Amino acid sequence: MSDSAIHINQISYIHPLLSTLRYFGVNLEKLKNKSLLKHFNIEDVNSYVPAIALEGFLNNVFHTQGLDYMDNSFSNQFKLQDMGEFGEYLVQLPNSLAALDESIKLEPLIMSNCRTKLIIKGKESLYHWKFHNRKTRGRTISEEFCFLMVLVGLQYVLGKNFLIKTIAIPHYMYPVLKHNLPDGEYDFQFTQDTYSVGFPTLSITSKIGGGEILKDRPELFSDSYRIRLSFLMNGLEEGIMPSEKLLSEILGVSERSLRRKLVAEGASFRELSREHLLTSSIEQLETTERGIDEISESLGYEHVTNFIRAFKSWTGQTPLQYRFSI
């Protein structure tokens, strides 16, 4: 997918930062309601939001708080376990190589606009990453946070053997990251647009978890325009019904462009919306005691009769008939 494609971020990626900002007394809910993120649930760490909306939100937070960069008080609050099922899964893996390998495979699940890889070069290995969406002030904040999280993550998975040999960052990020570069002696380099942290290859054999694997591996998915839109629909706040108009405005694309990209993958917005509403309504009917009117309202229907009519057209049963049949 090109740089102009829709990119999504899972809240698990930014959750430690949101928790830290709350810890320092920032009213995130108020700031969220003034941004495009007001349409999305940012409390569920496994929920997805548009990268462009998240970056705009972060830019607004830092601007209103008078922050130019994240100081050490931010990174000191970060914990890998705070990153939802992603972090919980990684910290239980037996050794550093397994954790690094899995983090690279799972990266598209967390940030569709970033790609990572592990480069083993003899006695030194590099953890390498690059962002692929359009550069904005908000993305710069996201890049800064990602850099700090990589350092925290590497320190955890490599443990006492964590020794930085090299650090490479984009030249445009130095004014921000210079405040958080680690102490010690290592080779420092500027790049055009990529990041890397080098460390001794021997350290990737370090043991970390080694116990029983209790948390299942997060499920990978086929990265496509259709899948990304489906995840965004699932991340909408209750009471908001997905529409071409709403999502195109949030994503900064035309409704025509939205349709065209889906058609190219053999899908349609109407189909995605129906799947979202049907899946959500069935889940609530099967797992909650909510009344039909409450479920209808949570899905964004103005009148419960419209919901009942739509549900029957999808399943051949009314919502009550379906609930009594299970």
Q: Is the pLDDT of residue 70 over 80?
A: no
Q: pTM for the complete prediction? A: 0.87
Enter the CATH code of domain 237-325. 1.10.10.60
CATH 1.10.10.60 boundaries in the chain: 237-325
Please report the DSSP string for 207-252 in residue order: B---S---SPPPPP----HHHHHHHHHHTBPTT----HHHHHHHHT
* Amino acid type, 198: G
Q: Which range, 29-33, 69-73, 135-139, 216-220, has the best average confidence (pLDDT)?
A: 29-33
* Mean pLDDT calculated for residue range 62-80: 72
Tokens at 273, concatenated: 């919306």
Q: Categorize the per-residue pLDDT at 2 as very low, low, confident or very high, splitting at 50, 70 and 90.
A: very low
Q: Among residues of the chain, what percentage have pLDDT more than 90?
A: 57
| CA distances (Å), origin 59, targets 32, 35, 114, 138, 167 | 11, 10, 19, 5, 26
Q: What are phi and psi of 134, to 5 degrees?
A: -60, 135
pLDDT at 294: 98
With a CB cutoff of 8 Å and minimum separation 6, the contacts of 227 are 221
pLDDT at 192: 95
- CA 237, CA 136: separation in Å to the nearest integer? 26
pLDDT at 218: 67
Name the nearest CA neighbour of 194 among 273, 139, 114.
114
Pairing of strands 187-191, 166-170: parallel
By three-state DSSP, how is residue 126 classified? Answer: strand
- CA 182, CA 151: separation in Å to the nearest integer? 9
The β-bridge partners of 194 are 130
Q: Is the pLDDT of residue 74 over 80?
A: no
Mean pLDDT in the chain?
88
- CA 120, CA 99: separation in Å to the nearest integer? 15
By three-state DSSP, how is residue 185 classified? Answer: coil
Q: Is the pLDDT of residue 77 over 70?
A: no
Tens-place pLDDT, residues 101-151: 988 988 888 899 999 999 999 999 999 999 988 888 889 999 998 998 899
pLDDT at 273: 96
Structural contact between residues 44 and 1, judged by C-beta atoms closer than 8 angstroms: no
Tokens at 197, concatenated: 């942290």
pLDDT at 3: 42
pLDDT at 23: 82
By three-state DSSP, how is residue 101 classified? Answer: helix
CATH superfamily of the domain spanning 8-205? H-NOX domain (3.90.1520.10)
- CA 141, CA 92: separation in Å to the nearest integer? 29
Tokens at 160, concatenated: 């006492």
Q: Is the pLDDT of residue 17 over 50?
A: yes
Tens-place pLDDT, residues 238-248: 999 999 999 99
Tens-place pLDDT, residues 182-220: 999 999 999 999 999 999 999 988 887 655 555 667 666
For the chain, the C-alpha Rg in angstroms (whole number) is 22
- CA 199, CA 123: separation in Å to the nearest integer? 9
Q: Among residues of the chain, what percentage have pLDDT more than 70?
A: 90
| CA distances (Å), origin 121, targets 69, 85, 169, 200 | 33, 31, 19, 10
Tokens at 269, concatenated: 């917005």
CATH 3.90.1520.10 boundaries in the chain: 8-205
pLDDT at 1: 40
Least confident of 13-17, 161-165, 318-322: 13-17
Tens-place pLDDT, residues 267-300: 999 999 999 999 999 999 999 999 999 999 999 9
